[in-house]
Structure 1
Amino acid sequence: MASESVVKVDMELLTASVTSLLDTLPVDPSNSYTACIYRVSEKPRKANEAAYTPRLVSIGPLHRDKSQLHGMESYKMRCLQNFYVRFGIELKELLGFVAREESSVRGCYEDTISLSKEKLSEMILLDGVFIVEIFLKNHFFQFRERSDTIFENRWIWNDLLHDLMLLENQLPMNVAKGLLRFVDPSFMDELTFYDLAHEFFKNVGNTEKLPLTEHCCKARHFVEFLLFLHQPRHWRDQPLSPTTKFEYTHSATELKQAGVEFCCGNGSMLFDVRFRNGELKIPSLLVNDSTETFFRNIIAFEQCSYHSRDITSYVIFMDGLINTREDVVLLVNCGAIRNELGEDEAVADLFNNLHKEIMTDVSDFYFAELCVDVNEYSRDFFHELKARCFKWGRVLRHDYFSNPWAVISVIAAGLLLGLKIIQAVCSIIQVKH
């Protein structure tokens, strides 16, 4: 019988090793429950890293070390100086405010923030005042300096708009909202911080047409603010039963062939999509340079947080309708899409790529019941027959009637065939007689 070897464990060494591991944990793990600002996961980032990366300015601690963004730090300092001088605010009052906010701000980030209390407080002040000043200058033209390139150059403005929509480039809204309270209320003429934010993001999604609600005022940062603005105002239908066979809708052109009529809905909410008596009503959506950043970062936030996947559902629904530029043309013509990107192909690519790397769950899909109704309608015998006739008609137009010479050739061939048939009939009659 082989002898059993006994391996002794150095308990002191083991204890020291485990203790050192525990020492790497954050001092206060509670931020895992209060965190609302996350890192975007690797899969969606690979699909389009630029949609999650700041171009002009760093807000918050996650991108502050990027050298290409350091050029805006002097602009932030000028904003701070202009802010407290213009409104007669003591700098010490502002410093006291951000020092009191430091701990709660630190807890809003999923990442462990290594900055000292002093450095983090400094960052909070500069970034917070920068946001307030941008919002004030956007509304009150008299605050703008003559050489302020942010408001003079449309490309720089678009970069700033992009940066303030990024999930990783956020500062808790309570900071900027608190800093705005230092401004004399009589000067603001009853304008709130949320009014200024709403005005700043007016060209993003359907923001301009959507009213501020009480729910919007509970947002913790701008990504959540845009999410709350665009979320449906009513609960979705009950989830599909497990026995229901589900599939996403066919493309817009295929549905059109099957007899579905498309028109622009009257509602301003993205989720006011209605299907009745073969008519699919879709609210108009503005598609411009900010659309991809808007959708991608809200989807990333929905994937990270406890929120329902409403915007994710909308993107999946639109991706089902849009496969090619022909689908985009159909939706543009009916008013469901306002295309400011230029090329229809660009809109198709945008929605087709947005759907990649998204975790989907039919039980949490807002438009599940609507998709079932649309697909059942399109599979009806007469609608399917109409679709086939429509498809054959398209083939004829494409292959045989694409230009005048092709039309002439088909007519000539038809006449020749007709003459041949007449000649054959005449020959048969002569033989019989």
Structure 2
Amino acid sequence: MVPSTLRDLKPSSFSPRVVSIGPLHRQDENVQEFEGRKASYLINLIDRMNSPEEETLESCAEKAYASMEQIKSCYVWTKTYDDADIAKMMVIDACFILGFILKVHEYGESGDRKNLLTQAIIYDLVLLENQIPFFFLKEIFQYTIQKFKPNVSLIEFLRPVLDHLRLFVGDMNFQNISTNSTPHILSLLHECYKPPHDDHDKISIGNLSSTIRSAVDLDRAGVHFKPNKNPKWLMEMEVRLHRCPCFFWSWSKTTLKMPVLKVHHFSEVVLRNLIAYEQFRQTSKYITSYVFAMDMLVNTQEDVAMLIESEVLVNYMGSNEEAANMINNINKEVACVDFFYSEQLNILNEYCNGYWPKHIARMRRTYFSSPWNMIALVAGIILFALTVVQTIFTVNN
């Protein structure tokens, strides 16, 4: 269960909108209408098999009973269920998930995957409190889907859903993902964001002991933002530092390459649940680190506009202010112990604290932050020039 410190900040990010999976939200009023519709997905799945319906369901139930103690250990039980109820719940929910994803594959072929109900269900499947044990889902998958799709792995089968949940522009890492230690679908999504094993040890991980300036302030200091088009891993940030010993520091090529984030109303749901998973499980804090880095870069809607203009952020929300508020609020009550971008942060701070970037940024902030400041500066220069001309003319006469 998500702790109240996180849930109370945005309850809607942790509660299913359409369908309940597992026991924790089974009594929610808003999911009751869909409970009966799960059966149609189950029947559609079983009809694909060549064995009798009753025999298939009985075999699935036997698998649930065989793993009953392991299943029970996966939940904080808020209501008492007997073993028969739990077995029925697990079988129906596992068959629903597999039957639903089978339809998503078909929708992909017919171009109907953008159906609003389909989207809502997909986001319900990634909620931390709305899961069933992955080992049981895998067992039912092997007993059902692989009977008529023998060459498809469970990860390949889930890929359309995982792709739909993608936060960044670019391909997720589906290589070398082990399903043996994966507790649920949300964990599997988290695995897709981790760096390849060979690169993990090369990433500088440190404590978050300082901050960086906002995107607008970094831009004033001469930092350019660009999409990271060939990253070693999907969430990689890279600083390219090129010092230019000239007054016009804006000509320098100091660049922060970033993953391209897609911001929409469901982005917050995915981010909050991934962060909650990272906070209360012994796992790497990739998502938490990224959110903290973005919170430093974004203070106002002007920072969002800067990142959009630099093509490292795509905003599907109503306004830049909405996007800024989401980014600023998403890491409240969250701890960031292992920060994955400490090296990049230190390089940027060292650069910005240099003589020229610091003074050029101050000049830009003072004289170029608004049209009126620019007009006043130009007027001052003209007045100074006229004064010099008049002085020279007076002396010569």
Shorter-chain TM-score tier: 0.7 to 0.9
Checking the alignment, whether the CA contact within 8 Å between 2:173 and 2:194 is kept in structure 1 is no
Checking the alignment, whether the CA contact within 8 Å between 1:136 and 1:143 is kept in structure 2 is no
Task: Check 1:422–1:306 CA distance in 2 against 1; reply closer, same or farther (3 A cut).
Answer: closer
Give the equivalent residue in structure 2 for 1:249.
Answer: 212
Task: Check 1:384–1:420 CA distance in 2 against 1; reply closer, same or farther (3 A cut).
Answer: closer
1:353 deviates by 0.7
CA–CA distance in 2 between the matches of 1:418 and 1:254? 31
AA aligned to 1:45 is R
Give the equivalent residue in structure 2 for 1:168.
Answer: 129
Please report the TM-score for the alignment, with normalisation by the length of structure 2: 0.84
1:126 deviates by 0.9
1:68 aligns with 2:34: no
CA–CA distance in 1 between the matches of 2:71 and 2:283? 21
Which of 112, 120, 123 aligns to 2:89? It is 123
Matches within 5 A, 1:35-54: 39-54=1-16
Give the equivalent residue in structure 2 for 1:273.
Answer: 237
Checking the alignment, whether the CA contact within 8 Å between 1:54 and 1:169 is kept in structure 2 is yes
Matches within 5 A, 1:13-412: 39-89=1-51, 90=55, 91-111=57-77, 114-141=80-107, 154-183=115-144, 185=146, 187-188=148-149, 190-204=151-165, 205-206=167-168, 209-218=171-180, 219-233=182-196, 234-235=200-201, 237=203, 240=206, 246-267=209-230, 269-277=233-241, 278-361=254-337, 364-395=338-369, 397-399=371-373, 401=375
Checking the alignment, whether the CA contact within 8 Å between 2:366 and 2:373 is kept in structure 1 is no
Shifted more, 39-48 versus 337-346: the winner is 337-346
Task: Check 1:194–1:353 CA distance in 2 against 1; reply closer, same or farther (3 A cut).
Answer: same
SS at match of 1:249: coil
SS at match of 2:335: coil
Shifted more, 274-283 versus 185-194: the winner is 185-194
AA aligned to 2:75 is Y
SS at match of 1:275: strand
CA–CA distance in 1 between the matches of 2:264 and 2:36? 30
1:142 deviates by 10
Task: Check 1:207–1:283 CA distance in 2 against 1; reply closer, same or farther (3 A cut).
Answer: closer
AA aligned to 1:262 is F
SS at match of 2:179: helix
Q: CA RMSD in A?
A: 3.0
Rg comparison, structure with higher value: 1
Checking the alignment, whether the CA contact within 8 Å between 1:210 and 1:230 is kept in structure 2 is yes
CA–CA distance in 1 between the matches of 2:389 and 2:107? 83
Task: Check 1:318–1:46 CA distance in 2 against 1; reply closer, same or farther (3 A cut).
Answer: same
CA–CA distance in 2 between the matches of 1:350 and 1:216? 33
Deviation track 1:303-337 (CA, whole Å, cap 9, x = no partner) reads: 11111222111110111111112212222222211
1:237 deviates by 4.5
CA–CA distance in 2 between the matches of 1:333 and 1:360? 29
Checking the alignment, whether the CA contact within 8 Å between 2:24 and 2:78 is kept in structure 1 is no
SS at match of 2:262: strand
CA–CA distance in 2 between the matches of 1:44 and 1:184? 37
1:354 deviates by 0.6
CA–CA distance in 1 between the matches of 2:206 and 2:279? 21
* Identical pairs, percent: 27
Deviation track 1:189-228 (CA, whole Å, cap 9, x = no partner) reads: 6222211222112132138611312235342211111111
Checking the alignment, whether the CA contact within 8 Å between 2:49 and 2:147 is kept in structure 1 is no
Please report the TM-score for the alignment, with normalisation by the length of structure 1: 0.78
- Residue correspondences, number: 374
Deviation track 1:148-192 (CA, whole Å, cap 9, x = no partner) reads: xxx687332232122111100111122222112223647326222
CA–CA distance in 2 between the matches of 1:238 and 1:423? 61
